[in-house]
Amino acid sequence: MKEVLDDVERWRGQGKRVALARVVSVEGSGPRLPGAAMAVNEDGDVAGSVSGGCVEGAVLTEALGVLVRGEPKLLTYGIADEDASEVGLTCGGIISVFVEPLDW
């Protein structure tokens, strides 16, 4: 959270809406601990991360949707399937990511 605060502050200062995505649970092997945070503004600018780069793209898309709808969403990512057509983690873990508009 601390690592995204500077960007969040700048975006808020520019009057931009911001979504906050945080890892809320990790089962098995996972790259980042619960609490790891990624912030996304309405233009699609990103700060921070929630994995080792595996799911950030998908979380960005979801976060923009969350900003449009104004409703939070709980996402779960598991192992990537073999033909890599699906977003997931290569490490074999399962992570849950809570995405919410930073409107509180």
| Minimum separation from the CB atom of position 20 to another protein (A) | 9
Burial 72-103 (b: 16+ CB within 10 A, else e): eeebebeebeeeeeebbbebebbbbbbbbbee
- The minimum distance between CB 90 and another protein, in angstroms, equals 24
Q: In terms of CB distance, is 18 or 89 closer to another protein?
A: 18
Is the CB of 3 or the CB of 86 nearer to another protein?
3
Contact residues: another protein, CB under 8 A: 1-2, 5, 8-9, 22, 24-25, 33-35, 71-72, 74, 96, 98, 100-102, 104
24 three-state secondary structure: strand
CB 22 to another protein: min, Å = 7
Q: How far apart are the first and last CA of the chain?
A: 15
